[in-house]
Amino acid sequence: MTYFLQQLINGLQLGFVYALIALGYTMVYGIVRLINFAHGDVFMIGAYFGFYLLGRFKLPFPLAMVGAMLGCAILGITIEKLAYKPLRNAPRIAALITAMGMSLFLEYFTSLKFVFGPNYLAYPRPFPIVNFNLGGVTLSNIQIIVFGVAIFLMVVLQIFVAKTKTGMAMRAVSFDKQTAQLMGIDISRIISITFGIGSGLAGAGGVLYGIAYPQINPFMGVMPGLKAFVAAVLGGIGIIPGAMLGAIIMGVVEVMTAAFVSSTLRDAVAFGILIIVLLIKPTGILGKPAAEKV
Partner 1 sequence: MNQTSFNNLLEVKDLSVHYGAICALHGISFELKPGEIVTLIGANGAGKSTTLKTISGLVKSSSGKIKFQDQDLNGIPAHKIAGLGISHVPEGRKPFSNLTVYENLRLGAYNTNNKAEIDAAMTRVFESFPRLKERLAQSAGTLSGGEQQMLAMGRGLMARPKLLMLDEPSMGLSPILVSEIFAIIKEINEQGTSILLVEQNANMALSIAQRAYVLETGSIVLSGNAQELREDPKVKSAYLGE
Q: Which residues of this protein are in contact with partner 1, per CB under 8 A?
A: 165, 168-169, 171-172, 174-176, 178-187, 292-294
- Those residues whose C-beta lies under 8 Å from the C-beta of residue 214, and which sit 6 or more positions away, are 122, 123, 125
- 187 Cβ neighbours under 8 A, 6+ residues apart: 173, 177, 180, 181
Whole-number Å distance between alpha carbons of 233 and 227: 10
Q: How far is the CB of 33 from partner 1 (least distance, A)?
A: 15
* Cβ nearer to partner 1, comparing 169 with 250: 169
CB 284 within 8 A of CB 242: yes
Rounded (10°) angle between helices 222-235 and 2-32: 80
CA–CA–CA angle 196, 250, 200 (5° rounding): 10
Give the shortest CB-163-to-partner 1 separation in angstroms. Answer: 10
Residue 59 Cβ, how far from partner 1 at the closest point, in Å? 35
Separation CA 184–CA 133 (nearest Å): 55
How far apart CA 75 and CA 80 sit, in angstroms, is 9
Please say which residue, 2 or 164, places its beta carbon nearer to partner 1: 164
Q: Closest distance between partner 1 and the C-beta of residue 88, in Å?
A: 13
Rg from Cα positions in the chain: 19
Instruction: Give the separation between CA 134 and CA 124, rounded to whole angstroms.
Output: 27
Q: Which residues pair with 134 in a beta bridge?
A: 137
7/174 with CB nearer partner 1? 174
Cα 201 from Cα 188, distance rounded (Å): 20
Which of residues 113 and 165 has its CB atom nearest to partner 1 in the complex? Answer: 165
Nearer to partner 1, 70 or 172 (CB): 172
Nearer to partner 1, 13 or 174 (CB): 174
Angle between helices 266-280 and 240-256 (to 10 degrees): 140
Choose between 102 and 180: whose C-beta lies nearer to partner 1: 180
Smallest distance from partner 1 to CB 229, Å: 23
Taking the complex as a whole, the smallest distance from the CB of residue 38 to partner 1 amounts, in Å, to 27
The CB-of-174 to partner 1 minimum distance in angstroms stands at: 8
Q: How far apart are CA 170 and CA 188, in angstroms?
A: 11
| Nearest approach, Cβ of residue 242 and partner 1 (Å) | 14
Q: Report which secondary-structure segment, H or E, holds 56.
A: none
Rank residues 143 and 192 by Cβ distance to partner 1 and give the closer one: 192
Residue 219's SS3 state is coil
